Structure 1
């Protein structure tokens, strides 16, 4: 039979073109398709079997989260957001430290104006001002500490001589306290900036090692921050990376139809500063090309390494030497082949270390689980032992009660056992005959109710006797078990060890408190049923 033509309705025209190209199915987009999709979306829980409103709500929530995550450029595996925040904070700290240092210079310059020319560095000036304080108190004894700060003995001697002949005004102790406090804050900010720079260097080596090896950590972080993320920077062409950060100059040149800028943020790289004036545009274009390659390698590689960045840096060095001396550089194909071989070795080593670390982690987890299982078993055994000991104590208490009853009533009634099976059978036969006679007698109308009432009473009496005999046998059996387990009972040994030295060892340490009759020396009990 001839196949019918099928038209597929899709909501996106680009998706329809892709379906037509791959599968050869005609697609349609328009108002009717939109209305149909709207109706399907409205009645979707009824059309799909097993779909609940809760599942549909969860699916919509997951889709919203994924869309929002893509919009805010949140990547779980990359930490380029930390790089963006770090470089922004580093720029702000540079501005603040410069402003505060100039304030300290102006404030302390009224007292010691010659120190500004001797110590031009901001952080060192704050440290020296905090160390000197009042210049009239500076002496030869303070020269060693001053040398440790300025790292120059000649400069320290110059500061000492200038303090003796300074033309600055005198300063009050209160003003000096405020200057020292403010200098301490500026010094702490400088120390924090150094730590933040180390943190940025470590993050760049983890996220973008090739880019940081090529152009430096700070310039690479500025490029990532200006682009918004490492992924956006990898998507930019080399022409955009070249003028990234010089947008104002670019738009001004386009507006006035002037010359466009040759470089943006990459101007702070050392390569452009080392190039001649006529070669700055060439080297900036070449450097932007290599930065684009490095950012793409860092963004889309599973195990980022700095091998490609080092090779790209060598290429930029060779191109810079070519502009200066005319020596031809190596071809890019040869350099990349070498980089691929070295990178494969580095990646294999990194994976081997990761596998080794994962094995160690699994071993630690296994040992931890075994320790937890052993602890759980010990806890269970201890609980079982406590239950057994509690049962033994209860058995001992019951045996003690039986023994005390025998001691208090030595001539008590005891049921004699039948001597032979013939006597037992005879008594049973007599009981059966009596039972038959009683049953025959109970047919009398006048004594029927009375006979059955006495019969039920006798049954209850015999049942109570059987219970008492059974309980008696259980008590005697418990007493026998106590007598057998006395030598191996751990808690009995503990209680026996607590007795006073020289006291007579009793088979049951709790016995004298339980039975006052038994508070006599061992061996004087008149009952033959005494244990031991």
Structure 2
């Protein structure tokens, strides 16, 4: 309870003498708030359906209780409150808007599925014309590029070897493609069919290129929004955690036990229903640390990693300046914990690691403060030089 509310209640309500029963009770909509008010101020509070109905009537006829209130003022106040609440929620910091990360990771997953399905369609479609190419080129993206380059297999010759080598990165494979094209068992396609195959292969290539650009965008946004979380667990896994939690603030509010099983809710509720073993990890399973841990230590590693991710997300959410120092130190701690499980090497204490991280951030701040005056003095000296050069010219 705030001091303003306490002083307001004490000033406007009659004081209750000790040992005597009060002749009134304060109606409160929230029972927990009412119990807290009664504990701190000794004012008897009441909450229930009667109080809720009474408060609803007060809200409905509020403009009639206050004489100076004009019609429409209450609606304007409500609208202003809604705008201020939304403004505070967004915070108007363009670089810290995590909604872009959520949309980017959703789009990245969709693109992965689309590219995979489209690439399989290109392979199946072009295999009618050149079936031997599937065994030589395994990668879907490279297959689409090779199919776009070759077009008609009957025109394939030694002149295509340099271009194929540039795509495949292997001259022997390029020569193998040319030899396979000469002895291919595939059927001939009409020019219209070939044009459609080439257009579809080009579309797959464009999607793959856009996917690369989107991934680079996601990496830059994660380094702006959650640099410590990104340096600890990676940009993609960190973005998935933020997306699943709803926002970076929601992720920061999650305890480490909740963060550990984010993404495994179905398995958790199934285990609770059947009274079986609860899942050890959710989305953090995709981290490289869990994969590197031995099977018996995966659960312990997931718990430790979730703890560090929780710390990193809170630092990113509530710190004013973005820095990767804490994330790098937390990553070092996770590496040391892996060595401890494998080789028995004792890791450093958490308090020592955090002290070193704070010292390094302070050193960086002092370096930045020293650089800024130097830049300002350099600019001033340049201006003075330009003035002195202009003076003789004017004379």
Alignment of 1:315 onto 2:333? yes
Contact 1:262 1:281 (8 Å CA) reproduced: yes
Structure 1 residue 43: Cα displacement = 5.8
Q: CA-to-partner distance for each residue in 1:264-293, whole Å, 9 max, x for gaps? A: 111111111111122111111111111111
Structure 1 runs not aligned, ≥5 long: 358-532
In 2 relative to 1, CA 347–222 (structure 1 residues): closer, same or farther, beyond 3 Å?
farther
Q: How does 1:335-484 map to 2 (within 5 A)?
A: 335-346=353-364
Equivalence for 1:329: 347
169, 177, 202: which one aligns with 1:159: 177
Could you report, residue by residue, the CA deviation over 1:277-312 in whole angstroms, capped at 9, with x for unpaired residues?
221111111111111111111111122321111111
With normalisation by structure 2, the TM-score equals 0.81
Q: 1:260 to 1:44 in 2, by over 3 A?
A: closer
Q: What is the alpha-carbon distance in structure 2 between the residues aligned to residue 348 and residue 47 of structure 1?
A: 58
1:303–1:347 contact (8 Å) kept in structure 2 = no
1:203 matched to 2:221: yes
Paired with 1:356 and 1:61, the residues of 2 have a C-alpha distance of 48
The CA distance in 2 between the partners of 1:257 and 1:291, in whole Å, is: 28
Contact 1:10 1:16 in 2 (8 A): yes
Q: Distance in 2 between matches of 1:351 and 1:228?
A: 36
Partner of 1:114: 132
Give the aligned partner of residue 222 of structure 1: 240
Who is 1:212 aligned against?
A: 230
Per-residue CA distance 1:40-76 (angstroms, 9 max, x = gap): 5466446556543333221122234556789xx7554
Cα distance in 2 between the residues matched to 1:351 and 1:104: 57
Deviation at residue 224 of structure 1 after TM alignment: 1.0
User: Please, what TM-score do these two structures have when normalized by structure 1?
Assistant: 0.61
- Alignment-derived partner of residue 393 in structure 2: none
1:263 pairs with one of 281, 285, 301: 281
Among 204, 216, 227, the alignment partner of 1:186 is: 204
Please say which structure displays the higher CA radius of gyration: 1
**Alpha-carbon distance in 2 for matches of 1:9, 1:351:** 55
8 Å Cα contact 1:104-1:182 kept in structure 2:
yes
Q: How does 1:274-289 map to 2 (within 5 A)?
A: 274-289=292-307
Aligned pairs for 1:20-169 (under 5 A) are: 20-23=38-41, 25-29=43-47, 37=55, 41=59, 44-45=62-63, 48=66, 50-65=68-83, 74=90, 76-77=92-93, 78-169=96-187
Give the Cα separation in 1 of the matches to 2:245 and 2:158.
Answer: 55
Separation in 2 of the partners of 1:326 and 1:112?
56
Q: Bigger relative contact order, structure 1 or 2, given CA contacts below 8 A and separation 6+?
A: 2
How far apart are the structure 1 equivalents of 2:67 and 2:266? 58
- Aligned equivalent of 2:267: 249
Deviations 1:330-353 (A, max 9, x none): 000000111112223445667899
**Per-residue deviation, 1:259:** 2.2
- Once residues 237 and 254 of structure 1 are traced to their aligned partners in structure 2, the CA distance between those partners, rounded to angstroms, is 19
Q: Deviations over 1:297-330 (max 9, x none)?
A: 1111122321111111000000001111111000
Q: Distance in 2 between matches of 1:356 and 1:234?
A: 38
Separation in structure 1 between the aligned mates of residue 185 and residue 344 of structure 2, nearest angstrom: 58
Q: Please state how far the C-alpha of 1:139 moved relative to its aligned partner.
A: 1.6
Aligned positions, number: 353
Distance in structure 2 (CA, Å) of the matches to 1:318 and 1:330: 8
- Please say if residues 275 and 283 of structure 1, whose CA atoms lie closer than 8 Å, have aligned partners that are also in contact: yes
Pair 1:245–1:32, CA change in 2 (3 A): closer
SS at match of 1:185: helix
CA–CA separation in structure 1 for the residues paired with 2:367 and 2:78: 43
1:382 paired residue number: none
Cα deviation, 1:217-270, whole Å, max 9, x if unaligned, reads 001111111111111111222122112112222222233332222211111111
In structure 1, C-alpha distance between the alignment counterparts of 2:105 and 2:372, rounded to whole Å = 30
- Output the CA distance in 2 between the equivalents of 1:330 and 1:252: 38
User: Could you say if the C-alpha distance between residues 171 and 351 of structure 1 is closer, same or farther in structure 2, counting changes exceeding 3 Å?
Assistant: farther
Distance in 1 separating the partners of 2:47 and 2:300: 49
Q: Closer, same or farther in 2 for the Cα pair 1:83/1:121, shift >3 Å?
A: same
CA deviations 1:69-99 (Å, max 9, x no partner) are 89xx755434111111110110010000000
CA-to-aligned-CA distance 1:146-177 (integer Å, 9 cap, x gap)? 11111222221221222122222222211111
Change (3 A) 1:204 1:353: farther
